[in-house]
Protein backbone atom coordinates (compact mmCIF):
# COMPACT_ATOMS: atom_id res chain seq x y z
CA UNK A 1 0.00 0.00 0.00
CA UNK A 2 1.42 3.36 -1.04
CA UNK A 3 1.53 5.48 2.12
CA UNK A 4 1.25 8.84 0.36
CA UNK A 5 -1.60 7.78 -1.91
CA UNK A 6 -3.49 6.42 1.07
CA UNK A 7 -3.14 9.61 3.14
CA UNK A 8 -3.98 11.72 0.09
CA UNK A 9 -7.24 9.77 -0.31
CA UNK A 10 -8.04 10.24 3.38
CA UNK A 11 -7.27 13.99 3.17
CA UNK A 12 -9.40 14.38 0.04
CA UNK A 13 -12.27 12.53 1.70
CA UNK A 14 -12.03 14.80 4.74
CA UNK A 15 -11.85 17.93 2.59
CA UNK A 16 -14.99 16.93 0.70
CA UNK A 17 -16.85 16.41 3.99
CA UNK A 18 -15.62 19.71 5.44
CA UNK A 19 -16.48 21.65 2.28
CA UNK A 20 -19.97 20.11 2.22
CA UNK A 21 -20.47 21.08 5.88
CA UNK A 22 -19.31 24.64 5.25
CA UNK A 23 -21.47 25.00 2.13
CA UNK A 24 -24.56 23.89 4.05
CA UNK A 25 -23.79 26.39 6.84
CA UNK A 26 -23.23 29.18 4.31
CA UNK A 27 -26.52 28.27 2.63
CA UNK A 28 -28.29 28.33 6.01
CA UNK A 29 -26.81 31.72 6.88
CA UNK A 30 -27.89 33.36 3.63
CA UNK A 31 -31.17 31.51 3.09
CA UNK A 32 -32.62 30.95 6.56
CA UNK A 33 -31.30 33.71 8.80
CA UNK A 34 -34.14 35.96 9.94
CA UNK A 35 -36.75 33.85 8.19
CA UNK A 36 -39.38 31.34 9.26
CA UNK A 37 -38.41 27.70 9.43
CA UNK A 38 -38.44 25.70 6.21
CA UNK A 39 -40.31 22.41 6.61
CA UNK A 40 -38.80 19.29 5.09
CA UNK A 41 -41.41 17.02 6.68
CA UNK A 42 -44.10 19.06 8.40
CA UNK A 43 -43.89 18.86 12.21
CA UNK A 44 -41.04 16.34 11.95
CA UNK A 45 -37.93 17.86 10.34
CA UNK A 46 -37.19 21.41 9.27
CA UNK A 47 -34.42 23.89 8.60
CA UNK A 48 -34.42 26.56 11.27
CA UNK A 49 -31.49 28.96 11.58
CA UNK A 50 -30.39 29.30 15.20
CA UNK A 51 -30.11 33.07 15.64
CA UNK A 52 -26.89 34.00 17.39
CA UNK A 53 -25.47 30.55 16.68
CA UNK A 54 -24.47 27.93 19.22
CA UNK A 55 -21.70 29.23 21.47
CA UNK A 56 -21.66 26.01 23.50
CA UNK A 57 -21.50 22.29 22.88
CA UNK A 58 -24.38 19.82 22.68
CA UNK A 59 -27.55 21.30 24.16
CA UNK A 60 -25.68 24.59 24.63
CA UNK A 61 -23.47 23.24 27.43
CA UNK A 62 -20.53 25.48 28.39
CA UNK A 63 -21.99 28.31 26.34
CA UNK A 64 -19.57 31.15 25.62
CA UNK A 65 -16.39 29.13 26.26
CA UNK A 66 -15.11 29.42 22.66
CA UNK A 67 -11.42 29.38 23.60
CA UNK A 68 -11.93 26.23 25.65
CA UNK A 69 -13.69 24.52 22.72
CA UNK A 70 -10.94 25.53 20.30
CA UNK A 71 -8.24 24.06 22.58
CA UNK A 72 -10.27 20.90 23.25
CA UNK A 73 -10.93 20.44 19.51
CA UNK A 74 -7.24 20.85 18.63
CA UNK A 75 -6.27 18.24 21.25
CA UNK A 76 -9.02 15.91 19.98
CA UNK A 77 -7.80 16.33 16.39
CA UNK A 78 -4.22 15.49 17.46
CA UNK A 79 -5.51 12.37 19.24
CA UNK A 80 -7.54 11.35 16.16
CA UNK A 81 -4.47 11.78 13.93
CA UNK A 82 -2.47 9.55 16.30
CA UNK A 83 -5.21 6.91 16.25
CA UNK A 84 -5.40 7.04 12.45
CA UNK A 85 -1.62 6.67 12.26
CA UNK A 86 -1.81 3.63 14.55
CA UNK A 87 -4.54 2.12 12.37
CA UNK A 88 -2.42 2.67 9.26
CA UNK A 89 0.52 0.91 10.94
CA UNK A 90 -1.72 -2.06 11.74
CA UNK A 91 -2.97 -2.09 8.14
CA UNK A 92 0.56 -2.75 6.88
CA UNK A 93 0.40 -6.24 8.39
CA UNK A 94 -3.36 -6.82 8.34
CA UNK A 95 -4.91 -6.07 4.97
CA UNK A 96 -8.39 -6.27 6.45
CA UNK A 97 -10.93 -3.82 5.08
CA UNK A 98 -12.27 -3.31 8.62
CA UNK A 99 -9.18 -1.24 9.46
CA UNK A 100 -9.49 0.81 6.28
CA UNK A 101 -13.15 1.43 7.09
CA UNK A 102 -12.26 2.38 10.66
CA UNK A 103 -9.77 4.97 9.43
CA UNK A 104 -12.43 6.53 7.18
CA UNK A 105 -14.80 6.64 10.14
CA UNK A 106 -12.16 8.48 12.17
CA UNK A 107 -11.63 10.79 9.18
CA UNK A 108 -15.36 11.56 9.29
CA UNK A 109 -15.11 12.29 13.01
CA UNK A 110 -12.22 14.66 12.35
CA UNK A 111 -14.12 16.37 9.52
CA UNK A 112 -16.96 17.08 11.94
CA UNK A 113 -14.56 18.47 14.53
CA UNK A 114 -12.82 20.65 11.94
CA UNK A 115 -16.14 21.87 10.48
CA UNK A 116 -17.30 23.15 13.86
CA UNK A 117 -13.80 24.45 14.68
CA UNK A 118 -13.89 26.61 11.54
CA UNK A 119 -17.17 28.13 12.73
CA UNK A 120 -15.85 28.80 16.22
CA UNK A 121 -12.73 30.51 14.86
CA UNK A 122 -14.53 32.55 12.16
CA UNK A 123 -17.79 33.42 13.94
CA UNK A 124 -17.19 32.69 17.66
CA UNK A 125 -20.16 30.30 17.43
CA UNK A 126 -21.30 27.26 15.45
CA UNK A 127 -23.97 27.67 12.79
CA UNK A 128 -26.84 25.27 13.54
CA UNK A 129 -29.91 24.91 11.33
CA UNK A 130 -31.28 21.34 11.26
CA UNK A 131 -34.19 20.87 13.64
CA UNK A 132 -35.76 17.49 14.41
CA UNK A 133 -39.02 19.00 15.52
CA UNK A 134 -40.85 15.74 16.22
CA UNK A 135 -38.93 15.22 19.47
CA UNK A 136 -37.90 18.85 19.98
CA UNK A 137 -34.24 17.85 19.56
CA UNK A 138 -31.68 20.69 19.81
CA UNK A 139 -30.86 22.34 16.50
CA UNK A 140 -27.69 20.92 14.90
CA UNK A 141 -25.65 20.91 11.67
CA UNK A 142 -23.95 18.55 9.21
CA UNK A 143 -20.67 18.47 11.18
CA UNK A 144 -22.64 17.34 14.24
CA UNK A 145 -24.06 14.50 12.14
CA UNK A 146 -20.52 13.48 11.15
CA UNK A 147 -19.44 13.42 14.80
CA UNK A 148 -22.50 11.57 16.09
CA UNK A 149 -22.64 8.91 13.37
CA UNK A 150 -18.89 8.29 13.39
CA UNK A 151 -18.82 7.94 17.21
CA UNK A 152 -21.66 5.41 17.01
CA UNK A 153 -19.86 3.42 14.29
CA UNK A 154 -16.57 3.53 16.21
CA UNK A 155 -18.28 2.13 19.31
CA UNK A 156 -19.94 -0.66 17.30
CA UNK A 157 -16.73 -1.53 15.44
CA UNK A 158 -14.61 -1.56 18.59
CA UNK A 159 -17.18 -3.61 20.51
CA UNK A 160 -17.96 -6.21 17.85
CA UNK A 161 -15.53 -6.12 14.92
CA UNK A 162 -12.04 -5.01 15.95
CA UNK A 163 -10.01 -7.56 17.94
CA UNK A 164 -8.92 -6.67 21.47
CA UNK A 165 -5.23 -6.68 20.46
CA UNK A 166 -5.88 -4.37 17.51
CA UNK A 167 -7.99 -2.11 19.72
CA UNK A 168 -5.18 -1.84 22.29
CA UNK A 169 -2.67 -1.04 19.53
CA UNK A 170 -5.01 1.53 18.00
CA UNK A 171 -5.54 3.51 21.19
CA UNK A 172 -1.94 3.23 22.38
CA UNK A 173 -0.15 6.56 22.58
CA UNK A 174 3.28 4.94 22.45
CA UNK A 175 5.04 4.45 19.15
CA UNK A 176 4.86 0.82 18.07
CA UNK A 177 6.58 -0.09 14.79
CA UNK A 178 6.68 -3.82 15.48
CA UNK A 179 3.67 -4.53 13.25
In angstroms, the CA 105 to CA 102 distance is 5
Among 21, 119, 128, 166, which one carries the catalytic annotation? 128
What CA–CA distance (Å, rounded) separates 82 from 78? 6
Q: Is 144 a catalytic residue?
A: yes
Catalytic residue list contains 94: no
Q: 122-160: buried (b, 16+ CB within 10 Å) or exposed (e) per residue?
A: eeebbbbbbbebeeeeebbbbbbbbbeebeebbeebbee
Backbone φ and ψ of 47, nearest 5°: -95, 125
Torsion angle of alpha carbons 149, 153, 154, 157, nearest 10°?
180
Q: Choose the catalytic residue: 21, 119, 144, 166.
A: 144
Pairwise CA distance, residues 31 & 48, whole Å:
10
Query: Using an 8 Å Cβ cutoff, are 131 and 47 in contact?
Result: yes
Catalytic residue numbers, as ranges: 128, 144
Amino acid sequence: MNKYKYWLKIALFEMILIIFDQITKYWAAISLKGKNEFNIIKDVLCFHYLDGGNTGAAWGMLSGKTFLFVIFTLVAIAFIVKIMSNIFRLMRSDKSTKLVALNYVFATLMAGAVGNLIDRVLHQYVIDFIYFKLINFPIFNVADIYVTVSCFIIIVMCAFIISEDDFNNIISLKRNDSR
